[in-house]
Structure 1
Amino acid sequence: MFSLLKELPSISTLLSIYASVSAMAMLIRTICNEVIPKPMRNYISSKVFDLASRCLSSDFTFIIEERWQAVNNETFRAVEAYLPTRIGPSTDSLLIGSNEPLNPRAPPKQSIPVDCKIIDEFQGMRLEWTLRSTDTKKYFPREKRYFRLACKKGDRDRVMQSYFPQIAKKAESILRERETLNIYTYDQESSMWESTVFKHPATFETLAMEPELKQLVKEDLDSFVARKDFFEGVGRAWKRGYLLYGPPGTGKSSLVAAIANYLRYNIYDLQVQSARSDADLRHILTSTTNRSILLIEDIDCGTKVSRDRAKVQDDQQDKEDEQPNRISSSDPGVTLSGLLNFLDGLWSSCGDERIIIVTTNHKEKLDPALLRPGRMDVHIHMGYCTPAAFRKLAATYLGIKHRSSFVTIENLLQSTTVTPAEVAQQLMKRDEPEAVLESFIHFLEAKRNENGESGAQTQKQDGKNG
């Protein structure tokens, strides 16, 4: 033992060695600071730190961003739905709020705020989740959100093979049974969809439609939802297009709400005019989520993108003939081909389980290319009020299924054009059913006389012109 201690260097020797090493390190540092630019030094330091962290740390980190390859990341959406169910005592912060203005005493709902940590356990693994957010202006100014999942390096494969599939399965169940729906509108300034709670009361039970037509729509929706394997097998995008056409006030918007409530799908209300170009339209449409409804209301109003191209060319030729010196120019913005490419082109495959609903008051004005199967698969005519629709409205608004005056009303409806919206307005005027029905009969008689006089005047005018 004494001999070993005798062979050890003295303290003065150790101090001398330390001083030499420190001097050499300071010399190297001074040379590096003088020769190597600061950005390069920072880069080298970061790489050395990352290498040391990977070698010394036993943790592994997954990053799940909100966007993935130009579309919404479905894994992010699944985690966003799943994590609120894992809120527990270890959660360090919560985002709470209420979306029930008619029930201020309702308990607030819970959500995940930025930088909140949630601990989950799965098959003996400890998993730590954190929601992060950064601002980015690379392409479109918007908030960039992502989830950070920390686990042990040895658990990485099990997380990929078992944990993420379990999250996807539970998220699908949560989204199918969600209590509230959202309706989204696109904000052009911020280049993102803004949402609000959708609480339209319309259902298939309350719709004033022919029973056969309602049943047809419900069966078609059920078939669409259940045939994922069929769409994949035949090589088609898992989507369905509906065209709702008819006069204003015939219940097109109510049918859209009933479909959303029936399927529990969120609604993306698109105004085609809000897109600056076809590229902008693609960004807008690929920002929608799966299991949703893309709604384009009154597509024939306010834009020429959907107009029949042959008729537009004829109108343009007439204008040029009237004003031969006028230089013609095409309207900027979205083109019909840009819209069709998303409905049934290559971009239509960017998303699954989507319903596309287009409404119009004038089907004849739309380009035939927009109406063909594969784009608008189901055409539903929303017409004037029928006796069956009146009976449904009477049961809904007055709580009655039959009265002696129904026969008179139904006979008048056969010869009078009146929309379900007009009928509903008349049935809401009073609380006494008999008084309401009597007033409604007078309304229908006046409407019929008005239509008869208008028709006679039109025929008379046509005779003079002839």
Structure 2
Amino acid sequence: MPSVSMGGLQLPTMSSLLSLYASLSAVIMIVRTILNDMIPESIRDFISRKASDFFSSYFSRDFTFLIEDHWEAVENETFRAVQAYLPTKVGPDTSCLLLGHNDNNNLLAVAQPGVSVYTRIVDHFQGMKLEWTLNEKEEKYNSTYYIPKNQWFQLRCKRSDKERVMDSYIPHICRTAEKIFYDREILSIYTYNQEESNWESTVFKHPATFETLAMEPEQKQGIIDDLDLFVRRKEYFRTVGRAWKRGYLLWGPPGTGKSTLVAAIANHLRFHVYDLQLQGVRSDFELRRVLTSTTNRSILLIEDVDCSSNSTEPRSSDEITNDDENGPDVKKRSASDKGVTLSGLLNFIDGLWSSCGDERIIIFTTNHKEKLDPALLRPGRMDVHVYMGHCTAAGFKLLAGKYLGIEDHELFKRIEDLMRKFPATPAEVAQQLMISGKPEVALDGLVEFLKGKEVDRIEKIGGEEESKSKNLWCLMRKWKNKKKKKKTPLVAEE
């Protein structure tokens, strides 16, 4: 190797140093290529993590907490708390900020801050400096397996602060997040995406409240009192050993306001709504996974439960067993059955899986209560049964005040008399009152609509009588033809 003499010391030249660097680089790249080809990626990642942990343990003064988005079979509530807490700590040290909103009805809605992936957020608490980063691993598809996307928060602090973080800082985050959840201004409605196996949300801005519901005042107040009592009784449910949940059954003819009542309950409690179509769930196993991924302080809505045949079909005698103190339950069906079974549904709303979550309202709606299996109807599963019937006089007056801005009119008495003879749903009454902003025109239209119900009833009765007459005539004709055939000789005379 060429060298330069300096005071008796031989130093290599610049060209020789560059040549040596090039040779070492080539060797390192060859070794790296060989290792990449020979050692699987999972093993390389494992070695890299272990090496990183080793050097961090012995040479670093920092400590790292990892908070993943899932904890075993359910969503990690600590992850949700951090996700709500960190946007309140965005400061001058934050280099990137995620903004957006999901209010598709209002383009000018105020954008909400969020935590962007790989963005560093610094928080200070009781003299500690805490650095947060949100990390993400993309989903992977393979011919034999599928790895879903997952996220995790990385919290870095001084090693000497580890105990204080566990004892003081994390509880502080959870308390702050709980207040954020309780004081939420924006509600969301979720629908389950079967293809992606997750819940998708949009802003829930239904204007219904208990003040605008066309219901009897006593029935309405009874529901409000029951809801208020439920949210205050966390310790009571824990003391008596029951899951903190409440089941409602809303039943009655179509158009009587069942969905509107659900919206009023959500607005009253400030609960998110998870709208689940049982027909879109492939199995009992998927149902458990779907329902355990819902959050606390939420409403699980299952509409038209009678239309899901597997989950409500009548049971045979050999499917019923007296295996609990509350009455008959259902044996588990064959695993080959498709869709959600009644057993799978009952196990979540009143079995061991019902304890996976707190402060939840489960609401079923149906047009035909008589089609439901009695096992669904007992207390503990559907605690409160609310009949949503036709519009009453009190309901009509409330609708008239809301749509027409009047409290009384000379046509009110006539309309109430007609409604007693020819029942109409609140949806039908509201539709007629929306025809005109002039009370006289709208009320006249409602009178004519109710009279039309009488005409429709008469025509229906007439049609049924005519149909019966035609059927009777057909039966008589068949009987006469049959009688003639009996008189016909078996062998013709010559």
Tell whether the structures are fold-level matches, with TM greater than 0.5: yes
For 2:370, give the aligned amino acid.
E
Q: Find the counterpart in structure 2 of residue 191 from structure 1.
A: 197
Q: Find the counterpart in structure 2 of residue 71 from structure 1.
A: 74
Does residue 383 in structure 1 map to residue 386 in structure 2? no
TM-superposed CA distance for 1:41, in Å, is 8.6
Q: Find the counterpart in structure 1 of residue 253 from structure 2.
A: 247
Q: Find the counterpart in structure 1 of residue 129 from structure 2.
A: 126
Identity fraction in percent: 58
Aligned runs of 1:71-110 on 2, under 5 Å?
71-110=74-113
For 1:279, give the aligned amino acid.
F
More deviation, 367-376/176-185: 176-185
Of the three residues 281, 289, 293, the one matched with 1:275 is 281
Q: Find the counterpart in structure 2 of residue 392 from structure 1.
A: 398
Q: Find the counterpart in structure 1 of residue 330 from structure 2.
A: none
Q: Find the counterpart in structure 1 of residue 478 from structure 2.
A: none
TM-superposed CA distance for 1:101, in Å, is 4.7
Conserved in 1, the CA contact under 8 Å of 2:81 and 2:177? Answer: yes
Does residue 260 in structure 1 map to residue 266 in structure 2? yes
Q: Find the counterpart in structure 2 of residue 176 from structure 1.
A: 182
Conserved in 1, the CA contact under 8 Å of 2:104 and 2:203? Answer: no
TM-superposed CA distance for 1:414, in Å, is 1.1
More deviation, 367-376/152-161: 152-161
Q: Find the counterpart in structure 1 of residue 57 from structure 2.
A: 54
More deviation, 112-121/420-429: 112-121
Aligned runs of 1:281-300 on 2, under 5 Å?
281-300=287-306
User: What is the total number of aligned residue pairs between the two structures?
Assistant: 421
TM-superposed CA distance for 1:419, in Å, is 0.7
- Structure 2: which 5+ residue stretches go unaligned? 1-8, 11-26, 320-334, 473-494
Q: Find the counterpart in structure 2 of residue 342 from structure 1.
A: 348
Of the three residues 202, 206, 222, the one matched with 1:200 is 206
Q: Find the counterpart in structure 2 of residue 21 from structure 1.
A: none
Does residue 439 in structure 1 map to residue 442 in structure 2? no
TM-superposed CA distance for 1:174, in Å, is 1.0
TM-superposed CA distance for 1:363, in Å, is 0.5
1:395–1:174 distance in 2 versus 1, CA, 3 Å:
same
Cα deviation, 1:140-195, whole Å, max 9, x if unaligned, reads 65321211111111111111111122211121111122121111111111111111
1:415–1:282 distance in 2 versus 1, CA, 3 Å:
same
1:373–1:300 distance in 2 versus 1, CA, 3 Å:
same
CA distance in 1, matches of 2:46, 2:393: 77
Conserved in 2, the CA contact under 8 Å of 1:275 and 1:333? Answer: yes
CA distance in 1, matches of 2:101, 2:46: 47
CA distance in 1, matches of 2:123, 2:149: 26
Conserved in 2, the CA contact under 8 Å of 1:141 and 1:191? Answer: no
Aligned runs of 1:442-453 on 2, under 5 Å?
442-453=448-459
For 1:227, give the aligned amino acid.
R
Does residue 218 in structure 1 map to residue 218 in structure 2? no
SS at match of 2:188: strand
RMSD (Å), alpha carbons:
2.9
CA distance in 1, matches of 2:462, 2:45: 88
TM-score for both structures, normalised by structure 2: 0.79
1:436–1:341 distance in 2 versus 1, CA, 3 Å:
same
Does residue 135 in structure 1 map to residue 130 in structure 2? no
Q: Which has the higher contact order (CA 8 A, sep 6+)?
A: 1
TM-superposed CA distance for 1:74, in Å, is 1.1
For 2:215, give the aligned amino acid.
M
CA distance in 1, matches of 2:147, 2:264: 35
Conserved in 2, the CA contact under 8 Å of 1:142 and 1:192? Answer: no
TM-superposed CA distance for 1:102, in Å, is 4.8
Conserved in 1, the CA contact under 8 Å of 2:247 and 2:382? Answer: yes
Does residue 116 in structure 1 map to residue 141 in structure 2? no
CA distance in 2, matches of 1:425, 1:383: 17
Conserved in 2, the CA contact under 8 Å of 1:132 and 1:147? Answer: yes
Aligned runs of 1:396-415 on 2, under 5 Å?
396-415=402-421
For 2:242, give the aligned amino acid.
R
TM-superposed CA distance for 1:137, in Å, is 5.4
CA distance in 2, matches of 1:330, 1:418: 45
Cα deviation, 1:200-246, whole Å, max 9, x if unaligned, reads 11111111111111111111111111111111111111111101111
Conserved in 1, the CA contact under 8 Å of 2:138 and 2:150? Answer: yes
TM-superposed CA distance for 1:428, in Å, is 0.7
TM-superposed CA distance for 1:303, in Å, is 3.1
Conserved in 1, the CA contact under 8 Å of 2:104 and 2:202? Answer: no
For 2:396, give the aligned amino acid.
F
Of the three residues 144, 150, 156, the one matched with 1:150 is 156
Conserved in 2, the CA contact under 8 Å of 1:140 and 1:191? Answer: no
Conserved in 2, the CA contact under 8 Å of 1:295 and 1:358? Answer: yes
1:425–1:330 distance in 2 versus 1, CA, 3 Å:
farther
Cα deviation, 1:366-418, whole Å, max 9, x if unaligned, reads 11111111111111011011111111111111111111211111111111121
1:310–1:360 distance in 2 versus 1, CA, 3 Å:
farther
1:49–1:77 distance in 2 versus 1, CA, 3 Å:
closer
SS at match of 1:304: helix
Q: Find the counterpart in structure 2 of residue 22 from structure 1.
A: none
